[in-house]
Amino acid sequence: MQNFREIGKKFGATKFQGDVYPGQTFESIYDDMFAPFRLYNPLKILEIGIQEGCSLKVWKEYFPYAQIVGIDNDISSLFEEERITTYLIDQSDEKKLRDLLERYKGFDIVIDDGGHFSTKQIVSLEILIPHTKYIYCIEDLDTSYPEIHPEFSKEGEKTIIMALKDVVDFAILEKNKIKRIEFRKRFCAIYCS
């Protein structure tokens, strides 16, 4: 079986091509993290943020039995193919997220690579994490810092980093189903139990 890097190169997914897009790769993180789930059947994966759909195709090939769901607020990103379904949903639209959860009865893995606005990421996290079975991932956490990315975060507003501190507090105090939280450069994975 091919690894993430090989599959990512095949589909041109930027998150798996560190040599082409320095500092933007998650290939080593995902290869290690998702290997134990690779052949799970059934498996439901939700990715927030579709763009050209390259990473959805990577998930489809990497997880040969998974049902892949993608959401985006750009209608031009939507497409359908075997085992991939996409929806026009803004990641901060609480009603549509709840409708999606009702339709799929939760997800095993969630990857947030959406708009990178903390206000939207927080809504998605709060609604989806209770219905995530294994892992909830958030990419590009550097957008939480207004001094680096003022287009995504405003000085004084609650950021996704602050919200993740709340998740840490809940995990330590055993107030929810969080088993482990792992931070890497620009990335967080929340392991659910």
Tally of CB atoms within 10 A around 176 = 15
- Tell me: domain 45-55+68-192, CATH 1.25.40.10, correct? no
> Alpha-carbon dihedral of residues 67, 98, 120, 184, nearest 10 degrees?
-40
Residue length of the chain = 193
Is 19's pLDDT higher than 70?
no
Check if 131 is active-site: no
Separation of alpha carbons 157 and 145, rounded Å: 10
pLDDT value of position 57: 95
Beta-bridge mates of residue 110:
46, 136
The CA-atom distances, in angstroms, between 136 and each of 22, 25, 59 are: 24, 18, 15
Contacts 24+ apart (CB under 8 A), 159-166: 159/118, 160/118, 160/121, 160/122, 160/125, 161/118, 162/118, 163/118, 163/121, 163/122, 163/125, 163/126, 164/138, 164/188
| Confidence (pLDDT) at 122 | 94
Least confident of 32-46, 158-172, 173-187: 173-187
Q: How would residue 21 be classed by pLDDT, with cut points 50, 70 and 90?
A: very low
pLDDT-wise least confident of 5-14, 102-111, 175-184: 5-14
pLDDT at 22 exceeding the cut of 80: no
Q: Residue 58 in contact with residue 13, Cβ under 8 Å?
A: yes
Residue type, 37: F
Going by their DSSP bridges, the two strands 43-48 and 107-112 should be labelled as parallel
Cα within 13 Å of Cα(12), Cβ side = 4
User: For residues 113 and 48, is the Cβ–Cβ distance under 8 A?
Assistant: yes
Mean pLDDT of the chain: 89
Question: What is the rounded CA–CA span in Å between residue 176 and residue 107?
Answer: 17
pLDDT by residue (tens digit) across 106-121?
999 999 999 899 999 9
Quickly state the pLDDT bin for 16 (edges 50, 70, 90): low
Catalytic residue among 15, 44, 116, 120: 116
Whole-number Cα distances in Å, 191 to 21, 28, 76, 108, 152? 27, 17, 32, 10, 26
pTM score above 0.95: no
